[in-house]
């Protein structure tokens, strides 16, 4: 055995104290060499533990495994984190102050079904393990345990990501954007020919509709260019979404509503803004403008689609000092109770009464994409039914450095 390695028994490693990478490198435990890092990829993990010593130990080990870690010392604080942030994995004790671990597991199972959960507890009785598993836990570790056990169970739920072939993706995106832009230009040419009388005289209403189509095609060309730029930035950068300080009102919501004036006028819908006087000027967040515009474009499009003729769509922004809460509400259709749990799933859409509405519905991915984008930005979204309509509520963290309201 090389002199740089030291044989350590399993007993010595029970609840091994926090150690740095230098101490772990080359360490051999019962014949297994311990690696201080793993190829699991950068997953986001929430650890919930009321013992500060253990919490610090978990953080150090997971950080050495190159995993992104958030910490909570009680159940209520963990619930707030889970409500506003998307996690790949949650590691939790069962005996927690504020909210017990079983209740937290049940909440995760209902509201975050894609999040895996590992329970760590000093109570290894069969009934407690069964209760945790019924609550949605994927794995159970009984204290005390050793470093290898902890690393193995975490790695089990953070498997290495498949390598991303950026060249293939780049070629595919270029081809898609080229084809989309080409078809847009063909449609523009066809509309111009119709307006010049190539296919016969046009009634006033038809010509008005063609002008509206030209505006939509112009927007589509702009979106295509924006997404080309975003894709190029991602592929030539470090893979992170480019972010900047953004004013939600002026730079996102107002611009999105400006794009939708024709649709609002056609249904004679009024827009009502509920101003939160505690927010001075604009509501600033750190994010990607294009992606956030996609979120609110989906929310307002959905509101227009389901709002009554001559109805009202209201929106507002409020702050609790840590994050913004943004709501978009419409008078009109109410989502059936049986659909409320699935409206943010891919390809799920509300029922439409006629063929035109069905065509406007699209593929039913708008809300699912909105939720994904908001979670990437550290936020979340949910639905609330109203007596005379529907409301979608989203959250986003305040921009760092902004004074709390």
C-beta of residue 177 within 8 angstroms of C-beta of residue 87: no
The closest alpha carbon to 273, from 283, 265, 263, belongs to 283
**CATH 3.90.1150.10 describes domain 7-156:** no
> What is the greatest pairwise CA distance in the chain?
92
Q: Taking residues 277-306, report their average pLDDT.
A: 86
d(CA 178, CA 264) in angstroms, rounded, equals 31
- Digit-coded pLDDT (tens) for 13-54: 333 333 333 333 333 333 444 333 333 445 789 999 999 998
C-beta of residue 106 within 8 angstroms of C-beta of residue 117: no
Return the pLDDT at 118.
Answer: 93
CB contact burial 227-264 (16+ within 10 A = b; e otherwise):
bbebbeebeeeeeeeeeeebbbbebbbeebbebbeebb
pLDDT at 300 exceeding the cut of 90: yes
Torsion sign across C-alpha atoms 161, 162, 165, 170 = negative
Assigned token pair, 394: 């989203």
CA distances in angstroms from 368 to 50, 70, 262, 316, 344, listed in the order given:
34, 25, 25, 22, 4
Q: Could you tell me the pLDDT band of residue 11, with boundaries at 50, 70 and 90?
A: very low
Q: Could you tell me the pLDDT band of residue 284, with boundaries at 50, 70 and 90?
A: very high
d(CA 110, CA 92) in angstroms, rounded, equals 17
pLDDT at 360 exceeding the cut of 50: no
Mean pLDDT for all residues in the chain: 77
pLDDT at 326 exceeding the cut of 50: yes
Q: Could you tell me the pLDDT band of residue 361, with boundaries at 50, 70 and 90?
A: very low
Return the pLDDT at 349.
Answer: 53
- Digit-coded pLDDT (tens) for 204-218: 888 888 888 887 787
What is the bridge-based pairing of β-strands 89-92 and 323-331?
unpaired
pLDDT at 355 exceeding the cut of 90: no
Q: Could you tell me the pLDDT band of residue 91, with boundaries at 50, 70 and 90?
A: very high
What fold characterizes domain 245-405?
Heat Shock Protein 90 (3.30.565)
Cα 296 from chain centroid?
14
Return the pLDDT at 5.
Answer: 36
C-beta of residue 97 within 8 angstroms of C-beta of residue 50: yes
Residue 378: what are its φ and ψ, rounded to 5°? 80, 15
Least confident of 52-61, 87-96, 107-116, 346-355: 346-355
d(CA 237, CA 182) in angstroms, rounded, equals 28
């Amino acid at each position: 055995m090389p002199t740089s390695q030291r044989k350590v028994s399993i007993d010595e490693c029970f609840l091994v104290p926090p150690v740095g990478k230098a101490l772990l490198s080359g360490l051999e435990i019962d014949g297994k060499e311990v690696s201080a890092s793993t190829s699991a990829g950068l997953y986001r993990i929430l650890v919930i533990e009321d013992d500060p010593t253990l919490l610090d130990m978990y953080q150090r080990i997971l950080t050495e495994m190159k995993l992104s870690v958030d910490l909570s010392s009680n159940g209520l604080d963990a619930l707030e984190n889970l409500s506003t942030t998307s996690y790949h994995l949650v590691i939790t004790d069962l005996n927690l102050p504020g909210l017990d671990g079983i209740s937290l597991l049940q909440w995760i199972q209902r509201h975050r079904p894609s999040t895996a959960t590992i329970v760590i507890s000093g109570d290894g009785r069969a009934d407690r393990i069964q209760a945790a598993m019924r609550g949605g836990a994927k794995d159970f570790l009984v204290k005390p345990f050793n470093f290898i056990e902890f690393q193995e169970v975490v790695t089990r739920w953070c498997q290495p990501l498949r390598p991303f072939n950026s060249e293939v993706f780049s070629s595919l995106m270029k081809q898609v954007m080229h084809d989309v832009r080409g078809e847009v230009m063909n449609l523009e040419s066809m509309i111009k020919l119709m307006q010049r009388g190539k296919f016969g005289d046009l009634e006033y209403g038809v010509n008005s509709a063609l002008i509206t189509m030209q505006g939509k095609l112009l927007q589509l060309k702009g979106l295509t260019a924006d997404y080309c730029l975003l894709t190029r930035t991602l592929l030539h950068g470090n893979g992170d979404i480019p972010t900047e300080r953004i004013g939600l009102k002026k730079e996102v919501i107002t611009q999105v509503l400006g794009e939708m004036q024709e649709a609002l006028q056609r249904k004679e819908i009024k827009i009502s803004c509920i101003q939160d006087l505690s927010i001075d000027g604009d509501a600033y967040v750190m994010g990607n403008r294009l992606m956030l515009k996609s979120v609110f474009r989906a929310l307002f499009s959905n509101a227009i689609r389901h709002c009554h003729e001559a109805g009202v769509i209201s929106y507002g922004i409020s702050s609790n000092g840590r994050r913004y809460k943004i709501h978009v509400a419409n008078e009109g259709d109410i989502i059936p109770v049986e659909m409320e749990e699935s409206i943010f799933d891919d390809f799920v859409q509300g029922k439409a009464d006629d063929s035109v509405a069905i065509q406007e519905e699209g593929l039913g991915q708008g809300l699912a994409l909105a939720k994904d984008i908001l979670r990437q930005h550290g936020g979340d979204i949910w639905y609330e039914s109203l007596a005379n309509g529907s409301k979608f509520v989203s959250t986003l963290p305040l921009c760092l450095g902004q004074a709390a309201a």
